């Protein structure tokens, strides 16, 4: 645990970010969960025992983390942004029923051929978004 904390500090410093308790907490929280939380969810999680960060600070921390490439914003839902500390390229699955978001391994889809794009467009990255229903929600339907 301590080692992990040290690693986080090292990572933040290596990106030129000042290490504050709030920034640390936001990043650590994002690293240990994989559900692409919203700002509100992060905030609730961080302050559940004792108040540690204010809303504006979480926004600021996320922006800083995003600028140095440690965190990505994920747009899969109207109204709210979600955040992801998994910066490696990957795809997303979204449950249309409960809204849950899950990562899909990058290698799951192999055959996307960007050279087929219209001449003139220069692709830099891509991502597949799959929508459907997750285990839990399929069960719901069957009851």
Residues that bind DNA (CB under 7 A): 13, 17-23, 38-40, 52-57, 59-61, 63-64, 78-81
Rounded CA gap, 82 and 42, in Å?
Answer: 10
SS3 143: coil
Nearer Cβ to DNA (67/108)? 67
State in angstroms the smallest separation of the CB of 64 from DNA: 5
State in angstroms the smallest separation of the CB of 68 from DNA: 10
Nearer Cβ to a copy of itself (25/82)? 82
The two tokens of residue 20 are 């504050």
CB 92 within 8 A of CB 72: no
**Measured on CA atoms in the order 77, 83, 89, 93, is the torsion positive or negative?**
negative
Nearer Cβ to DNA (81/133)? 81
Q: Which helix (H) or strand (E) holds 95?
A: strand 91-95
State in angstroms the smallest separation of the CB of 94 from a copy of itself: 10
Nearer Cβ to a copy of itself (5/128)? 128
Q: Which does 89 bind (CB under 5 to 8 A by kind): a copy of itself, DNA, none?
A: none
Look up residue 79 and give its DSSP letter.
S
CB 22 within 8 A of CB 39: no
Q: Which does 76 bind (CB under 5 to 8 A by kind): a copy of itself, DNA, none?
A: a copy of itself
């Amino acid at each position: 645990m301590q080692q992990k904390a040290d690693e986080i500090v090292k990572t933040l410093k290596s990106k030129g970010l000042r290490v504050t308790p709030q920034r640390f907490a936001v990043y650590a929280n994002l690293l240990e969960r994989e559900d692409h939380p919203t700002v509100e969810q992060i905030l609730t999680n961080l302050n559940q025992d004792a108040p540690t960060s204010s809303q504006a600070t979480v926004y600021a921390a996320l922006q800083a983390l995003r600028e140095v490439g440690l965190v990505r914003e994920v747009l899969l839902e109207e109204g709210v942004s979600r955040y992801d500390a998994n910066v490696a390229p990957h795809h997303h699955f979204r449950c249309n029923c409960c809204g849950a978001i899950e990562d899909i391994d990058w290698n799951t889809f192999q055959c996307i051929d960007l050279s087929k794009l219209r001449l003139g467009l220069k692709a830099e990255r891509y991502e597949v978004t799959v929508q459907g229903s997750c285990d839990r929600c399929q069960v719901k339907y069957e009851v």
